[in-house]
Amino acid sequence: ARVREEPFTLALVELTDLGKLNRRDGLESGDAALVAAAHVITHAADQVEGSACRYSGARLALLIPAADSTSEAVLTLLRDQLEALDGQPRCAATAWRPDEEGHDVLARAREALRAEAQRDRV
C-alpha cells in the first residue's frame, strides 16, 4: 500500500467454537463450519476484487483493496452473513494507515479480534 499509495482493509474471522464443535460433533462438522465461513469470505472478496485465505487453524482473512465506505459495506455484509454460521464466528477489521508496514496492520487486526473476544466474555 505504501508503494502504490492505495489503502486496504484487513479483516480477520475466527471461529471461536471450532474446537468445541469438533469435540461435540466430530471433525467433519468443524470442517463444514470452516468451509461455510470460507464461502462467505470468498463471496465478500469477489464483490470487491479482494483476497480471501485461511490465516491459521480457526482463522480466515479477507484483504479488501479499499479503506472507505465500500469496505465498511462489505464488512457489514460479512458480519451479517457470518452470524448464521456454526462455530461462533467473530470478525474484526482494521485499515492500513500511511507509513505502516503490513505486519503493523496484521497486529492491529489481531488485537481488534482479541478485543472482540474480551467484549464477548463480559
Q: For residue range 26-63, what is the model confidence (pLDDT) as tens digits?
A: 999 999 999 999 999 999 999 999 999 999 999 999 99
Mean pLDDT, all residues of the chain: 90
Q: How confident is the model at residue 2 (pLDDT cuts 50, 70, 90)?
A: low
Res. 122: pLDDT tops 70 = no
In Å, how far are 36, 47, 61, 103, 121 from 77, measured between CA atoms? 15, 11, 15, 26, 24
Tell me the C-alpha distance between 122 and 113, whole Å: 15
Core vs surface per residue 98-115: b (16+ CB within 10 A) or e: eeeeeeebeebbbebbee
